[in-house]
């Protein structure tokens, strides 16, 4: 484990259940804590991001959108496969600044929208596959976001969520209201998706997650 990671974990441990830290885990913005959040996300989410992209079975012709790009771990993997423009939606200016510095592949387009309304940039029924890793917890009200997913997905289009419910169970409820797998699945079903879920264990605490797949009927 490198020195930066040790420092980030120590600061995170001190502030773990505070609203301020959870706010920064949702969308980094406070100087210092934004760095802590980015460093921890890089360490914790790399393996899971690669695993989820493999499960998505992206085709060269797929139009893919990722919500909550963060450090770009998953979108870089998708860009190795899809020949189309890949849309990344990232509300945090701090993350967007970082993504700009990363020299991402040319077919990645980063939008600064709040994902609850993408109507100025993403047309109806234009997306084959949608991905959101460690994001669903924070979306409020969740129904509004899921209806937007439904608008942009093609019929038969598929959404994928990666969720670490165990790691976020003590997150501040105001910032992270969606911590219950069954409630999320039921909302997706009620709004017109066929849903399945699977617990994935890649062998370490940081790489255990719930994979939720939802297909537009
Ligand atoms: C916990 S981070 C996860 C980042 C990355 N997916 C990962 O797993 O490492 C949550 C991400 O979602 C973004 N985000 C949160 N709410 C959003 C919203 N309403 N619209 C767009 N992006 C959002 C945050 O800025 C942040 O990048």
Q: How far is CA 78 from CA 5, 61, 165, 169, 200, in A?
A: 26, 12, 24, 29, 20
Does residue 141 have a cis peptide bond before it, meaning omega lies within 30 degrees of 0?
Answer: yes
> CA angle, 74 as apex, 71 and 76 as ends, to 5°?
85
- CB atoms closer than 10 angstroms to residue 156: 10
Walk along the chain (217 residues) and give the pLDDT tens digit of each residue. Answer: 688 888 888 777 777 778 887 887 788 788 788 888 888 888 889 999 999 999 999 999 999 999 999 999 999 999 999 999 999 999 999 899 999 999 999 999 999 999 999 999 999 999 999 999 999 999 999 999 999 999 999 999 999 999 999 999 998 899 999 999 999 999 999 999 999 999 999 998 889 999 999 999 9
Q: What does the pLDDT read at residue 1?
A: 61
Going by alpha carbons, the residue nearest to atom 3 of ligand 1 is 134
Going by alpha carbons, the residue nearest to atom 24 of ligand 1 is 27
* C-alpha torsion 19→4→66→90, nearest 10: 60
Distance from Cα 138 to the centre of ligand 1, integer Å: 8
Quick one: which atom of ligand 1 is closest to the CA of 27? 25
Give the gyration radius of the chain's Cα atoms: 16
Q: What does the pLDDT read at residue 196?
A: 98
171 lines ligand 1 (CB under 6 A): no
CATH topology of domain 45-216: Rossmann fold (3.40.50)
- CB atoms closer than 10 angstroms to residue 1: 7
């Amino acid at each position: 484990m490198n020195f930066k990671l040790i420092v980030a974990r120590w600061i995170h441990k001190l502030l773990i259940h505070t609203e301020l830290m959870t706010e920064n885990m949702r969308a980094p913005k406070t100087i210092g804590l934004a760095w802590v959040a980015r460093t921890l996300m890089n360490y914790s989410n790399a393996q899971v991001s690669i695993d989820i992209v493999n499960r998505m079975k992206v085709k060269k012709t797929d139009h893919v959108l990722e919500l909550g790009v963060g450090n770009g771990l998953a979108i870089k993997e998708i860009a190795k496969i899809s020949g189309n423009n890949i849309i990344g939606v990232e509300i945090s200016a701090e993350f967007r600044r970082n993504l700009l510095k990363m020299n991402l592949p040319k077919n990645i387009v980063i939008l600064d929208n709040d994902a609850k309304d993408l109507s100025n940039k993403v047309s109806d029924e234009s997306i084959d596959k949608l991905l959101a890793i460690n994001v669903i917890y924070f979306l409020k009200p969740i129904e509004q976001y899921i209806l937007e997913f439904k608008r942009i997905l093609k019929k038969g289009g598929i959404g994928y969520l990666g969720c670490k419910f165990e790691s976020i169970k003590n997150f501040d409820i105001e910032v992270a209201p969606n911590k219950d797998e069954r409630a999320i699945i039921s909302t997706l079903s009620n709004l017109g998706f066929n849903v399945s879920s699977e617990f994935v264990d890649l062998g370490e605490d940081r790489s255990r997650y719930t994979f939720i797949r939802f297909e537009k009927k």
